[in-house]
């Protein structure tokens, strides 16, 4: 495996059709929006989905969601102790965690776990080379809500209780832009490889596979296209802001999923830097 030597930038275009891409728990689980009405998907949410895809692709990850835990461990501390327990040297601890778990050498991780005895805890921070921006919709989104009725009462009562009622929120239609980069300097430290970069690429291309829920029915979210730039040097031929901005979307009002989104995407050519355009699954 060869270590990553050239900087990488990427942009993914996401289509949302009557789904909640990322609910805000502080706002009744309504889809996240900013003050101008543009939809948002947090970087944490995007990384969670990438981790899930990594796991689907057969990679070992450290941060596993409860429903996807395929080992006997019920917490991150248990998984860390089983994998690198007993190691006191921070550099060695970091080295082994990066070798063992692809999400650690990709996104980094803070290992801060206590112990029953004084001096046996661990605090190690790993900085990962893959950075993901908070995704933002190209245009303001319309949020629609509907009242729903659950099929059964949670508690035995003669009449239906209030807990049988609820509200479901969703974005009617939206196009979001995910932006990210892979830093060579940090990749060298975590031993992030070109093969790892290919896994990130494939995870992004298939981001919403095996991601269904009542908030995101199968087919309600998809990657339309993925734009992938590999520079010819470690620092990059252009800064990431300019590269990300080279993908321009000019969307008309009333756009729906039936329209051909490709007609409204313009890719600005950056001399000397080739862009690989990949269709989503």
Give the CA distances from residue 26 to residues 30, 48, 146, 275, in Å, rounded to whole numbers and listed in that order.
9, 19, 19, 39
- Listed in sequence order, the residues at least 6 apart from 58 whose beta carbon sits closer than 8 Å to its beta carbon are none
- What is the residue-level pLDDT of the chain in tens, covering all 281 positions? 799 999 999 999 999 999 999 999 999 899 999 999 999 999 999 999 999 999 999 999 999 988 888 888 888 988 998 888 888 899 999 999 999 999 999 999 999 876 655 555 678 999 999 999 999 999 999 999 988 876 665 666 666 555 667 789 999 999 999 999 999 999 999 999 999 999 999 999 999 999 999 899 999 999 999 999 999 999 999 999 999 999 999 999 889 888 999 999 999 999 999 999 999 98
Q: Is the dihedral of CA 176, 225, 22, 45 positive or negative?
A: negative
**Integer angstrom CA distances of residue 245 from 28, 191, 221, 230:** 33, 29, 23, 16
The encoded tokens of residue 195 equal 């093969």
Q: Which structure tokens are listed for 186?
A: 């940090």
What pLDDT is stored for residue 99 in this prediction? 96
The confidence score (pLDDT) of residue 163 equals 61
């Amino acid at each position: 495996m060869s270590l990553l030597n050239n900087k990488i930038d990427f942009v993914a275009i996401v289509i949302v059709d009557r789904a909640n891409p990322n609910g805000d728990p502080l706002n009744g689980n309504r889809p996240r929006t900013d003050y101008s009405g543009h939809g948002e998907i947090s970087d944490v949410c995007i990384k969670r989905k990438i981790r899930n895809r990594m796991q689907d692709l057969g990679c070992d990850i450290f941060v596993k969601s409860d429903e996807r835990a395929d080992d006997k461990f019920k917490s991150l501390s248990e998984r860390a102790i089983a994998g690198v327990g007993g190691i006191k040297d921070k550099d060695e601890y970091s080295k082994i965690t990066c070798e063992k778990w692809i999400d650690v050498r990709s996104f980094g991780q803070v290992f801060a776990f206590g112990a029953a005895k004084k001096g046996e805890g661990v605090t190690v921070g790993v900085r990962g080379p893959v950075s993901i921006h908070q995704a933002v919709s190209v245009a303001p989104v319309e949020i629609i809500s509907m009242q729903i009725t659950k099929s059964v009462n949670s508690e035995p009562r003669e009449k239906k209780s209030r807990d049988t009622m609820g509200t479901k929120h969703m974005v009617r239609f939206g196009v979001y832009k995910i932006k990210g980069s892979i830093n060579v300097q940090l990749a060298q430290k975590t031993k992030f490889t070109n093969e790892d970069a290919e896994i990130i690429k494939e995870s992004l291309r298939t981001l919403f596979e095996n991601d269904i829920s009542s908030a995101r029915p199968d087919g309600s979210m998809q990657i339309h296209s993925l734009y992938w730039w590999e520079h010819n040097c470690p620092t990059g031929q252009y800064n990431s802001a300019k590269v990300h901005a080279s993908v321009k979307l000019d969307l008309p009002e009333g756009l729906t999923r039936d329209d051909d989104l490709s007609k409204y995407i313009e890719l600005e050519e950056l001399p000397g830097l080739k862009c690989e355009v990949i269709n989503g699954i």
